[in-house]
Amino acid sequence: MTGDDSDTDYGAKGTAGTVVAGDGGTDEATDGDAIPPEPAGETALLLDTMLGKLATYLRMCGYDAAYAGERAVEADDDVLALAHTEGRVLVTRDRELAARAERSQLLSTREVTEQLRELRRSGFDLELSDEPARCSACNGPLERVDRTEPTPDYAPETHEETVWRCRNCGQHFWKGSHWDDVAGTLDDL
């Protein structure tokens, strides 16, 4: 696999869909089939190293979206082992890798907005929640910062705006212009 090139569209088009390969077989899904039978917060995903930008969007939609690149996992066998061990649906553009996974979502496009469209057509819930749940930087769980706690210089004061903090990396988040930009992108799907 290569590094993250999800923001470059080379015009590659193919058949995308849900692939289930737990029995060694491959079944292409139709647009009506959905891999995530549970709500976003209950569907754990593993995105391969080609889908780093997509991971940010999925995290903002509440998905537990691990990114193989952040885990320093690049070899196909290691990606498959991680997906299996953690019970994650593998999201990939690699047809052979998808076919080998127990549960996977195969994407055909390179550009993140088109990838989001593919996921929505496959049944993924791509809406921002009122209460953010996942850190867009590291995928850690977020907690609301108490109104009496100070915030870093880059974040608004908690008495002015609701602020969340990642329990893992400590980064602070609030619903600012980036939140609005992501909401606009999702609305345009």
**pLDDT reading at 66 higher than 70:** yes
User: pLDDT tens digits for 69-128?
Assistant: 999 999 999 999 999 999 999 999 999 999 999 999 999 999 999 999 999 999 999 999
**pLDDT reading at 10 higher than 80:** no
> Per DSSP, what are the bridge partners of residue 89?
45
- Cβ within 8 Å of residue 75, ≥6 positions away: none
- Map residue 70 onto helix, strand or coil: coil
User: pLDDT tens digits for 17-57?
Assistant: 544 444 333 444 433 344 555 666 688 999 999 999 999 99
**pLDDT reading at 144 higher than 90:** yes
Averaged over 141-170, what is the pLDDT?
95
Torsion of CA 74, 75, 76, 77, to 10 degrees: -130
**pLDDT at residue 116, as a whole number:** 97
- Cβ within 8 Å of residue 163, ≥6 positions away: 144, 145, 151, 155, 156, 172, 173, 174
DSSP state of 141: B
**pLDDT at residue 36, as a whole number:** 52
Looking at residue 10, its amino acid is: Y
109 burial class (0-12, 13-18, 19+ CB within 10 angstroms)? Answer: buried
98 burial class (0-12, 13-18, 19+ CB within 10 angstroms)? Answer: buried
- C-alpha distances out from residue 94 to 17, 49, 149, Å: 12, 10, 45
